[in-house]
Every structure is written in C-alpha cells, then in structure tokens.
Structure 1
Amino acid sequence: MKKKVIAPVVLSSALLFGAVPMSSVFANSETTVSSVQAQKVWNEKANVPVFVKEEHAEKFSASTSSNALNYLKKNELKTGVKNADKNLKVKNVAKDELGMTHVRFNQAKNGVPVEGAEVIVHFNKNDEVVGVNGRVNQTLIDDTLDTTASLSAAEALEIAKSTVNAPEEFTYNPTAELVVYPFEGKNHTAFKANVNFMGDAPGNWFVYVDANTGDVIDKYNGIMHADEIKTQKGAGLGVHGEHRELHISHVKEDQSGTQFALADFSHPNLEGILTYDSKNDGNTRNDTLFTGNSASFMSDYDRAAVDAHYNSEKVYEYYLNEHGRNSLDGEGMAIKSYVHYGNNYNNAFWNGAWMTYGDGDGEFFISLSAGLDVAAHEMTHGVISKTANLQYRNQSGALNESIADIFGALVDDSDWEMGEDIMAPAAKADGVTRLRSLSDPNSVVVSNAARAAYATDDRKVYPDHMDEYYDMPLNVDNGGVHVNSSITNHAAYLIGEEIGREALGKIFYRALTVYLTPTSNFSDARVAVVQAATDLYGEESAETAAVNAGFDAVGIY
C-alpha cells in the first residue's frame, strides 16, 4: 500500500506552510505566536491611511525634507497629518531612476518613533509635490502619552532573551530600541528588542517589553532563516543533477593540500556570495565555508551547496540587472547561505542575516536549496526588510509573503508555481507537486488543519478572491499571512499575463521600494501598485489598466 505523505505539522513554509517566520520556506508551529495576545480591541484611529494625489502639483525650490515638511504643514486638512514638524522624523530621502525624490518620515511621539507609522512625500523631477501616502496613528496626534522609560535597554533585553529562551550564542548582538507600540487598542511605551539566534529552533525574535513594568506586550518570530582568496571558475552538480558553472575561490593551502571554497568575490561593489556548511550537527560554532579539494564539487553531499551558491548568484543578478539593486540592502551586503542545516530538516528560511536550507526528510521534501524560486523568495524577504519592512501580521504580513512569492516566480520564470523543484518523489506520488500556485491558487489544498478551519467553504484551498479570505486571529498564522497571500499573488499573475513579467517586476519593485509602508494593507497595495504603474507607463497606459483590472478581478478595491 502506498504510504500517505502528510505535510509536517510543526514545520511549514513561508512559501506554503509557515506559521510565524517571516521568510521561512516552512514555518514553525503556531505556538511561536505570543501567548500574551488577548482579544483584539479595534481602534479606528490607530492606523489611519494617508493618500493625496495632487492634481495641481505645488512647486518648491528643491526636493528636500524641509520642503516636504513645509508642504505637510501647509496641507494639514488635506493630509490629516497635524503639526508635521512636531510629529514626524525624517527616516530617509531617496531619488529614483525617474528623477523623482521620495522623503520618508516615521511618526514620532515626543521624539520616540511610532512602530509601523510612516508617511512618504513624493516630489517629481521638477521639485513639485505630486503625492503623499502612508499611515499615521491619529490617537497619538490627538492624545498625550508618557514616553519616559524606567527600565534600561539592557534590562529590557534580558527580559526579551528570557521570554524566547535564547541560547548564549547569537547571530549578531541583540538590540533594544525605545518605541511607541500600538497594540490591541492601546499605545504602549516599549522597548523593541531584536534577538537573533540559530540552533534547533532558530529565531529572529522581535519582543516588545513595556518600558516601565517590564511586561512582555507582544512578540513574534521574524524568521522569514582577503588577500589569501582569489575567485575563479569552478563547477558542480546540483540536487537534480544539473551541471552548474560556479564562481569559487582558491583558499590558502595547508597540510591537507589545496582547498577551494564556495566563495564568490567576482562582482564589483559586492562583499561576496558565500556558502557555508552547517554539517547537520546542530552546532553553529562548527559552521564553516563550504570547501573541497578541487574546483569541481560533484559529490552527493556537495549538491545542496552547489545549488545554494548558484541560485544566490542568479537572484543577485536579477535584482542588479532588472532593478539596479546591489544586493539585498542595495549597498552590496554579502549574500550568505547555509546548507545541511539540522537533521532531515523540512525548512528553509531567511533569519534576518542569511539564508538557511535544510536537506528535507526525503519524503515530503528534498534539499530545499534545489529551488531557484525558494532562494528568490527567501532573499526577497531580505529586500522587503530593507525597504517597506512590511509588518508580519494580518494583511501587511500577507503582502510580505506575496511579494516574496511574486519575485520568486519572476526570477524562476519557467512557470507561475512555487516550490515545484523541492518536492520529494513520495509527495509528488501523493499529488503534492508544489507549494503554492499564483496562476491557480484554488488548485492547492491548505494542509495545515488550524488554518484550513477558517476556510469559507469545504474545499479548504488557497483563496484567489477576497470572497474566500481566511479571517484568522493573530495566534493562527499571524492572522493568515501565508494563505491570504495567494489573493494578491493571483492579482500579480493576472497582471503579468497581460503586460509581461518584466513590466510586472518593475511595477511591483517600485511599489515596494517607493510607496508601501510597514502597515500597508491590500487596499494600500492596490493604490501603491497603480501609482507605480502610472509613474512608469502613464495613467492611461495599458499597464495601468491591467493593474486595475487585476486587482478588480480578485476583489481588492
């Protein structure tokens, strides 16, 4: 009798099954969501959208942050942002390829940043303000709030580390920043702590600690998981047996002879593409650059590393060639991958610093580095974190997942499916041939029972329209970030079929980097994508019409 293949219960995918990790190909169990969450209290003023499209652009002497503030102060009634000079802090100023300048502000209360509240003022190339968008917390503009802290940042960090059972070894030094955190109908003065570690249960935790009582307000796991070196050409075999040309490095010879490493320093202004061996031992202290005794990486053990190294370069080249983006942060940060993580580990994730790939259990998944779309999905989470930084909750979290899927399908452009190259033979025999489908979301069943319980009909499939939206509480899939992502995925597919993948990528990249903010929802995304299409191709263009039609078709108005 054929063995029934069942999706792992406690491991799941940001592509399909993930519960909490922002960028995990598979997510952790539902228990990773904070146990402190109470019944949600809605406050309609806590996250107010701001959108102004100027019909008669206002001219300024220059596209500067001070002039952006002048515009906001002059147009309080139009924007709803009162006392902009008091309530907003400049976050960054960026000029794009169209000559437009975008001034991004973070809302602040008494100088303390408000988590997730941002406003962007857009100048055209003639120094005219042509639009404003974002979201503000109106309660913090209208009401008073004590933003003093009796705890220190160090004390808050200790509380955060304790509440997530952090080990002694960290990926990078934990941090704590004083913020105003709107949560469950109330504004809290809190320390936002970030604690990142590997191990059996890797974490990129964000913990919000009350700055006066020390209580944990909320927490979530944001894993979404030299002169002696000379780069040269090498080769290897991938997981599926493909011959891969690689950029590798000849490292210093020692008593064991000549060594070659999967370390690529061939790209100008990039710190490198580096692939590491986690050795299936669960001890991150033993992780090393993946090396071999020749320039050919041909053994079975090498294959996962070969694909991780090769696919990382392909994703890097896509963002550089299509969008002029130098690495995930746009500034040439090193691109790092770790393979052979854990033991039969059915997971892959972006941990906030690098990609990590398990080998799969051979039953449901093979080595997860085999999927180019998987690599592109995970690396795109890195791009998102460096741009709009979409919060991993509810619709903004679903947008985070969806954008990672969309660019996964754009980089791996053979189809509109996700994860088809990482399914094990037994899973395929059982009919599980991919993780998610942009072209036909309804063709994929939601395997996680906790999430499937919120389906609007008996099919328990991924939705392709807002009529099928999974209305989940925060303690299930962070409010449905994985299943509901398929709605905007399908809109992107419909748009791409009309205008082509290249234009689709340009439009969504511009929407992500120019218009979306941390708490953008699906309606905000439509506005952002339409505006991006208008910027690039014109208001009456076929591209803008296709974007509007695509969102109409999935019920996002």
Structure 2
Amino acid sequence: MLKRKFIVPVALSSALLVGSIPVSSVFAKPIDSKVVNSVQASKKWNENASVPLFVKERFAEKFSSSTPSNALNYLKKNEGKTGIKNPDKSLKVKDTQKDELGMTHVRFNQSINGVNVEGSEVIVHFNKNNEVVSINGRINQTIADDTVDTTASLRSDTALKTAMSTVNAPNELTYEPTTELVVYPFEGENHTAYKVNVNFMGDEPGNWFVFVDAKTGQVIDKYNGLMHADEIRTQKGVGKGVHGDHRELHISQVKEPKSGTKFALADYAHENLEAILTYDSKNDTDTRNDTLYVGNSAAFIGDYDRAAVDAHYNSEKVYDYYLNEHGRNSLDGKGMAIKSYVHYDKNYNNAFWNGAWMTYGDGDGEFFISLSAGLDVAAHEMTHGVITHTANLVYRDQPGALNESFADVFGALVDDKDWEMGEDIMAPAAKADGVTRLRSLSDPNSVKVSNAQRAAYGSGVYPAHMDEFYHMPRNVDNGGVHVNSSITNHAAYLIGQEIGRKKLGQIYYRALSVYLTPNSNFSDARKAIVQSAIDIYGAGSAEEAAVNSGFDAVGIY
C-alpha cells in the first residue's frame, strides 16, 4: 500500500473569485431560462468554509476501474473526510484524463440543480492500480447547505444585450457571444447569473466575461480576460526576421483567380494539427480587413514581412516544444489551428491572447519594436492558450498572477537562452534608458514597474518575495496579475537552478494540466507543484526538496 499523509483542508479566501471558461465551453449552446431554472441565494457564505485541498489517503482505496462513477462512490463514502456533502447531487463530471504515468484524473464542477457554481472544481486522482490516492480543488461549501431557489425571470438574450452594452461591444464580434447560467459567489452573496462571454477586436480589444443577475438584470461583475503581453500544398520557404535572422518556414502555395500562384504563411505539415496560420491585420483594428499573410515568392524578406516571419516561425517552435516535451498537440491538446495576427493597429505596444488566437503589435519604436520578434513572447501568449484549455486560471488577483507566471515560466523554458522576459522586443531608446527587458525571473527586483499606477502600490520594482506583494485593487492590473507574477516566477527560477529546465518543465506542466483549478492561489500552486514532483520523481526526491526550497525562499508556504 502507498503511504499517504493528510493535509488539513484550507479555508476559503475572503471572496471567491470569478472564473473564466475554456474555449471548449464557450461554444456550448446557451442555456435558456425557460428550460433551466436559476439560483438567487441571498444567504451570506461562511469565510471559514473548508475546501478539500490535497486530501491524501494514507492507505489508497482500490476500485475495479478509474471511472467517474467510482470517483463519486469514493466521495460519497468519505463525505466527512472531504467536506463535500451529497457529491452525487452537487458534482457534475467535467472531464476525465489519463496521463503518461498511468494515473486517471476525474474533474468535477460543483453544481446546484444542474447549474454550475462558477470556478468551483474538485479533482479525484486514481493511480495506475485504480486506487484513489488524492483529491484537490475548491468548492463553496455553504451553497451546498443552502435551500436554493432555482427560478429565473430574465431571458438569456436580454442578459446578452445588457452585457454587450456595458462593455461597449462593437457590432462585429470575433465569434458568437455565449451565455451560460451559473451560480456566482461574489462579495458575500451567492447570485444566480448569466455568464456572458463577448470577444471583439478594435482599438480596445476585449475578451469580456460579464455576470448579469438572472432576476434583476443588473450587472453583478465583469472583467476583461484578454491575456496580454483552393488547393493548398505545404512546402519549405525562407524569411528574414525582425532582427535579421534567417528563418526556415513551412509555407503553402495558394492559387488566386486574378494573380495566379502565390505563397502563404500557412503550415499544414504537422500530423494531426489543423494548421499554423499567420494573418496580416494591415495596421488597423478592423478584423474584416485581415487576410492570410501572402507573398509573391517563397522568400519573405521584405521589411514589412519581418514581423510575420517571426510570428510564423516562433509559433512552430512553441508548438514543437509542447508536442516534444509534453506530448501536447496544440494549445487545446487536440490539434486546434494556431493563429497569429501581426501588424495590429498602429504603434501598438502590446501582444495578447484573446481566447482564440495571438495578436502582435508593431510597437511604437520607442519602447517596443515588433512584439512578434520575441520567442519568449510567443511562448508566453501561446501558453495562455494552453492555460485556457487546462487549469483555466481566472485572470484576476492571485489566480491571474499564476496565469501570467506560468506563461512567463514556459516562455523562459522555450526561449532558454536566459531567464528574462521580453529582452528581444525592447526598442533602442528603451535600452538606452536602461529598460532592457520586461521582467526577470532570476532577479525580479532589478526591473522597475513601468506603470506609475501599478508602482504606487509597492516598492516600484517587481517583487521577489511575499513580503513585497503588491496589494492592488482589481481595477489596476486586474489585481496585480503582471506585477505579483514575479514572486512565483522567482520560485520557478530557483527550482530550475537546482534541477534543470527540463525537469522544471515536466513538473510545472503536470501541475498546470492535472492539479490546478480556476481559483487556485499561490499556496495551492505550491501544493500542486510539490505533488507533481512527487508523482514524477518520488516522495523524498531531490526534485521534491528543490520545489519546497524554492517556494520557501519566496515566502509561499
């Protein structure tokens, strides 16, 4: 039998955080209020409600198979141990995954009368012998104790109109907006709300999640989940990158009716991958003008081509990393097309993942050059896509800082020449002023927080320890997602120094894809990363010790 220890369940934080949804859920059909009843619970929830976080079995319990039904059987039998009451009624199966170690992970959403509780998930972990060995996640336990009224008076299309109005959404959207009925714990109350996702480009692009009360029609909460910074035959092509680097590319011939054969930055060379595609936004924000990036020859060497060449080249590099290191086929793990848009707007100083693709500005030439020049930037943005399809960490407060941190860590693992972020996209003028990179995993304090509004909440430099944590309101950097990410970044650097980049990547990917849930905080991340090290390298291993030491050093206990 496997020896296990118990970890005391952790109390809920003072407020449950809003959770974003993966793209796979975005395209689900909206739930009609006539069909599904809604929830409006006014009871205050208990800040001390316990949640199961790495409840480990001292002696594993064996089943005939690692199935969702057996996971529920275990939870029903052990309600007192886990604190999850009536799991067969309060949990819905979200996903079942089997990993390379032979373990099976059954992920549940907490639900009331079939309506998901936003951001509340529990994962049951079986080993290869069909034994339940651990459980982790976060639930709102007080909701399970409530007698919940499940009636709604607002139509989903009315909620959609309200959401679009409150975020000033344009008529043209990136994809069809979605509406889902959820139970939404927010600021001490459990609301029934329509969770509306609206995605658009433009001068101020957005991937908004808006929560509209299902009875009153009032907006409860909202946040922008935009995560910054004819016959086709694939063949080999070449290009010149932003810094003049020679790039070998996978491109495709396209036949156009009036101009004959041309060449597109469209890569169909990878088995079971839909494509790697690069588009030209033509220095505006109107997506109707965007087209696949096309040239007259197989050599993309013009000045305007350079940003597109790097975006296309770097996308393939990041795809190869996730496939070769982690067996992951594209951002969703199922071969979805990897799309990049370059030349977005004029002098645009940003790059972002909008929930569906990467977008790169050209920079203003003063602070940034073309942001597609950075392999670490591409890896960062594409990792946001991986996060969307795994832990789906909420883009606010500590979960949002973890979202940014994991993106930075994998950016530094893919672009492995140093532990800095963004050094290849800084403009000469910025470098002359001493701004040579955006963030440093190795020495966070060496980088100033450039945004004065953010800097006002701390020392003015990126923090390396919880003693330096920036306590920001949510209207500043979504609660400090970029600034506070440097604390967990530094922990990753310290761990990597002890065990090497490859092992660091294996451990962090496992934590992201197996253990973390939407509302995971820094302490949860430590537990998940430690457990991942144990899974791969064994209890008492040097790798486990390195992880514990790294988090101790930055004050995350």
TM-score (norm 1): 0.91
Once the two structures are TM-superposed, the CA of residue 310 in structure 1 deviates from its matched residue by 0.2
Cα distance, 1:387 vs. partner?
0.5
Residue of structure 2 aligned with 1:265, choices 251, 254, 268: 268
1:34-433 superposed matches below 5 A: 43-45=46-48, 48-224=51-227, 228-433=231-436
Preserved contact between residue 45 and residue 137 of structure 1 (Cα < 8 Å)? no
Letter in 1 for 2:266: A
Q: Secondary structure at the match of 1:539?
A: coil
2:510 alignment partner in structure 1: 510
Q: Aligned partners of 1:283, 1:130: CA distance in 2, in Å?
A: 51
Residues 211, 222 of structure 2: 8 Å contact kept? yes
In the other structure, the counterpart of 1:4 is none
Q: CA deviation at 1:273?
A: 0.2
Q: What CA distance in whole angstroms lies between the structure 2 residues aligned with 1:102 and 1:433?
A: 42
- Report the CA distance between 1:284 and its aligned residue: 1.2
Whether the 8 Å contact between 1:469 and 1:484 is mirrored in structure 2 is yes
Decide whether aligned partners of structure 1 residues 427 and 42 sit closer, same or farther in structure 2, where only a CA change above 3 A counts: farther
Q: Which moved more, 1:250-259 or 1:439-448?
A: 250-259
CA shift for structure 1 position 43: 4.8
Work out whether residues 257 and 293 of structure 1, in 8 Å CA contact, stay in contact via their aligned partners in 2.
no
- Please state how far the C-alpha of 1:46 moved relative to its aligned partner: 6.5
1-structure distance, mates of 2:176, 2:398: 30
Residue 240 of structure 1: how far off its partner (Å): 0.2
Distance of 2:366 and 2:527 partners within structure 1: 43
Instruction: Say if 1:239 and 1:307, in contact at 8 Å, map to a contact too.
Output: yes
Query: Secondary structure of the equivalent of 2:53?
Result: strand
Partner SS, residue 161 of structure 1: helix
Partner of 1:480: 480
Distance 2:72 2:166 in 1: 40
Q: Give SS of 2:57's match.
A: strand
Q: Which residue of 1 aligns with 2:11?
A: none
Task: Tell me by how many angstroms 1:424 deviates.
Answer: 0.2
The equivalent of 2:542 in structure 1 is: 542
Q: Percent identity?
A: 80
SS of alignment partner, residue 54 of structure 2: strand
Task: Please give the secondary structure, in 2, of the residue aligned with 1:50.
Answer: coil
CA contact (8 A) 2:50 2:83 kept: no
Once residues 486 and 147 of structure 1 are traced to their aligned partners in structure 2, the CA distance between those partners, rounded to angstroms, is 42
1:332-361 CA-to-partner distances (Å, cap 9, x unmatched) read 000000000001111110000100000000
- Retained in 2: the 8 A contact 1:179–1:189? yes
- CA positional deviation for 1:145: 2.4
Q: 1:434 to 1:475 in 2, by over 3 A?
A: same
The reply to whether residue 449 of structure 1 matches residue 452 of structure 2 is: yes
- Normalised to the residue count of structure 2, the TM-score between the two structures is 0.91
The letter for the 2-side match of 1:477 is D
Between the aligned partners of 2:351 and 2:150, the Cα distance in structure 1 is: 39
Give distance in 2, aligned partners of 1:139 and 1:478: 27
Q: Is the 8 A contact 1:46 1:182 kept in 2?
A: no
What's the secondary structure of 2:136's corresponding residue? Answer: strand
CA contact (8 A) 1:47 1:117 kept: no
Counterpart amino acid of residue 515 in structure 2 = Y
Structure 1 unaligned spans of 5+: 1-20, 23-40
CA distance in 1, matches of 2:92, 2:360: 39
Distance 2:335 2:540 in 1: 37
**Matched residues in 2 for 1:487 and 1:297: separation?**
40
8 A Cα contact 1:398 1:481, kept in partner: yes
Quote the Cα distance in structure 2 between the aligned partners of 1:435 and 1:146.
Answer: 49
For residues 366-395 of structure 1, what are the alpha-carbon distances to aligned partners after superposition, in whole Å with 9 as ceiling and x for unaligned?
000000000000000000010110111211
Q: 1: distance between equivalents of 2:285 and 2:354?
A: 16
Give the alignment's Cα RMSD to 1 decimal: 1.4
**Alpha-carbon distance in 1 for matches of 2:97, 2:156:** 31
The one-letter amino acid of 2:55's match is V
> What are the Cα deviations for residues 440-459 of structure 1, in whole angstroms up to 9, with x where unaligned?
0000111112221111xxx4
User: How far off its partner does 1:49 sit?
Assistant: 4.7
Give the C-alpha shift of residue 147 in structure 1: 3.1
Report how far residue 253 of structure 1 moved. 4.3
- 1:408 partner SS: helix
Q: Does 1:462 align with 2:471?
A: no
Query: How far apart in 2 are the matches of 1:245 and 1:278?
Result: 23
For CA contacts below 8 A with separation 6 or more, give which structure has more relative contact order: 1
Displacement of 1:475 in angstroms is 1.9
Contact 1:377–1:405 (8 Å) recurs in 2? yes
* d(CA) in 1 for partners of 2:257, 2:49: 61
